[in-house]
């Protein structure tokens, strides 16, 4: 095959492309795109990719490499954080001013020189409203809010990262509540940020659904972080699952400023994991207060009824005594009948009140660990604190077994975990 006499090297071709771009695209251009693979090197330069996705199937229809030089990045990232409340990171819809460059070795790229934070804020808000409108059209937006939280809600399924500080704060707040209420929690671990968080949280909800009869409510908690990490909580799929979940969901994902779609569909939104714990404590405190008040009202009513019936009987007796002998005889018969009726009424009323008090006392006793001991159960203590998991015990530890009539101290010689099954 004959080799053409006129040919270009790759370098020569790339240089011509570079020169053509400089000549025909000399200005800066405002471009709308989605950020991806945002990373900063040790020199302070920020490298990323810009994407455009199809509006229907979300497939990538265009892609370009981008760069923000260190001096520009320092200024723009601070400006973006101040205006939007979130870091400049992947997964954001942005409006950026770019210059088009072509390097003979590295190829085509966009150099960012400016950014419009208001566009990103508008996109986030617009996406949230679109998801909320879709849920409303589906008729599921308020379903979880319409559920009634049980009066005694102390069995809580928790969706969180097991290593999150927010989860520890939640547990500490429940365990050390001032009223001494006992809460039973079960952690369903999930990834709470990143690309896999949506599917991970949904999977945790599905596991809870299989054992829903063991729980009174679900707590979805997360200990703060960047606002950009909240993207998964605006997802339609997650919000749809939460809205239709058969147990009340209490959300506390650590952001006071941002209200996510998950917050909107949840039964109750709390600002932080600690606030979620306080919500459960306050709810149980209210229930206990109402039961005690009901007990006191019942006792007062019973005492008043007895005193009134006794006064009526005394008045009737005096009237009979001051009458004639015949009247006394007649009234005596009447008194006997009346006394029988009154005694029956009082006995029936008192018995009803006693049964009522016993039922209320059962509700009050539900939060008392001592009644649990009376039924043959025991409590395990380590250093005076109740043990709820085998992970809190180490071989060689001294533990105390509390019975209803005494305490036994034991030393742990063996430890076996039973897995993640719901007990």
Instruction: Give a yes or no: residue 191 inside a domain.
Output: yes
Number of structural domains the chain divides into: 4
Instruction: Give a yes or no: residue 423 inside a domain.
Output: no
| Same domain (yes/no): 276, 132 | yes
| Same domain (yes/no): 316, 348 | yes
Helix (H/G/I), strand (E/B), else coil: 395: coil
| Same domain (yes/no): 251, 159 | yes
d(CA 67, CA 49): 8
d(CA 324, CA 331): 10
Helix (H/G/I), strand (E/B), else coil: 360: helix
| Same domain (yes/no): 338, 403 | no
The domain boundary residue, chosen from 245, 266, 281: 281
Q: Which residues pair with 382 in a beta bridge?
A: 385
Instruction: Give a yes or no: residue 272 inside a domain.
Output: yes
- The CATH number of the domain holding residue 141 is 3.40.50.261
Report yes or no: 283 and 149 within 8 Å, Cβ to Cβ: yes
DSSP 392: G
Phi/psi for 118 (5° steps) reads: -60, -30
Please give the full DSSP string across 133-149, using - where no structure is assigned.
HHHHHHT-TTTTTTSPP
Helix (H/G/I), strand (E/B), else coil: 180: coil
Report yes or no: 156 and 183 within 8 Å, Cβ to Cβ: yes
| Same domain (yes/no): 380, 342 | no
- The pLDDT profile of the chain, 423 residues, written as one tens digit per residue, is 566 777 888 888 888 888 888 888 888 999 999 999 999 999 999 999 999 988 777 788 999 999 999 999 999 999 998 888 778 988 888 999 999 988 888 889 999 999 999 888 777 778 888 899 999 999 999 999 999 999 999 999 999 999 888 899 999 999 999 989 999 999 999 998 877 889 999 999 999 999 999 999 999 998 765 555 677 888 899 999 999 999 999 999 866 656 889 999 999 999 899 999 999 999 999 998 888 777 777 777 877 777 787 777 777 666 656 665 666 677 777 777 866 776 777 677 767 777 776 776 666 666 566 666 677 778 788 887 888 888 888 888 888 888 878 888 988 898 887 755 444
Instruction: Give a yes or no: residue 2 inside a domain.
Output: no
| Same domain (yes/no): 151, 259 | yes
Helix (H/G/I), strand (E/B), else coil: 119: helix
Residues near 398 by beta carbon (within 8 Å), at least 6 away in sequence: 382, 409, 410, 411, 412
Phi/psi for 385 (5° steps) reads: -110, 140
| Same domain (yes/no): 154, 259 | yes
Structure tokens at 322: 């001051």
DSSP 150: P
CB atoms within 10 A of CB 35: 20
| Same domain (yes/no): 359, 382 | no
How would you classify the pairing of strands 28-40 and 46-53?
antiparallel
Domain that holds residue 306: 284-367
Instruction: Give a yes or no: residue 422 inside a domain.
Output: no
d(CA 338, CA 378): 53
d(CA 304, CA 194): 65
């Amino acid at each position: 095959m004959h080799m053409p006499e006129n040919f270009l090297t790759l370098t020569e071709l790339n240089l011509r492309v570079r020169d053509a771009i400089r000549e025909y695209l000399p200005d800066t251009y405002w471009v709308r795109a989605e950020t991806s693979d945002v990373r900063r090197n040790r020199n302070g330069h920020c490298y990323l990719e810009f994407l455009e996705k199809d509006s229907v199937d979300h497939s990538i229809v265009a892609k370009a490499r981008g760069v923000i030089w260190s001096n520009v990045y320092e200024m723009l990232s601070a400006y973006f954080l101040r205006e939007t409340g979130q870091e400049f990171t992947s997964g954001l819809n942005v409006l950026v001013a770019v210059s088009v460059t072509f390097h003979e070795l590295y190829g085509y790229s966009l150099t960012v020189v400016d950014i419009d934070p208001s566009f990103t804020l508008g996109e986030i808000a617009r996406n949230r409203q679109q998801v909320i409108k879709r849920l409303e059209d589906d008729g599921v937006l308020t379903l979880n809010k319409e559920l009634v939280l049980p009066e005694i809600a102390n069995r809580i399924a928790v969706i969180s990262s097991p290593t999150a500080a927010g989860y520890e704060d939640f547990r500490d707040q429940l365990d050390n509540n001032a009223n001494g209420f006992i809460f039973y929690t079960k952690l369903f671990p999930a990834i709470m940020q990143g690309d896999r968080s949506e599917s991970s949280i949904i999977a945790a909800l599905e596991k809870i659904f299989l054992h829903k009869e063991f729980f009174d409510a679900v707590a979805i908690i997360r200990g703060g972080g960047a606002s950009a990490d909240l993207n998964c909580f605006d997802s339609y799929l997650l919000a749809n699952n939460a809205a239709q979940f058969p147990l009340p969901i209490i959300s506390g994902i650590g952001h006071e400023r941002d209200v996510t779609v998950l917050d909107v569909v949840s039964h109750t939104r709390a600002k932080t994991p600690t606030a979620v714990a306080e919500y459960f404590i306050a709810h149980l405190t209210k229930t206990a207060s109402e039961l005690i008040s009901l007990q006191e009202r019942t006792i007062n009513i019973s005492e008043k009824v007895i005193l009134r019936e006794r006064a009526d009987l005394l008045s009737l007796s005096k009237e009979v005594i001051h009458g004639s002998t015949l009247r006394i005889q007649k009234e005596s018969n009447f008194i006997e009948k009346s006394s029988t009726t009154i005694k029956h009424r009082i006995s029936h009323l008192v018995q009803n009140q006693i049964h009522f008090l016993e039922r209320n006392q059962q509700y009050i006793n539900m939060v008392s660990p001592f009644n649990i001991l009376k039924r043959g159960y025991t409590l395990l203590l380590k250093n005076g604190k109740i043990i709820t998991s085998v992970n809190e015990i180490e071989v060689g530890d001294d533990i105390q077994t509390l019975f209803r009539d005494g305490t036994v101290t034991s030393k742990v010689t063996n430890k076996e975990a039973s897995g993640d099954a719901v007990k």
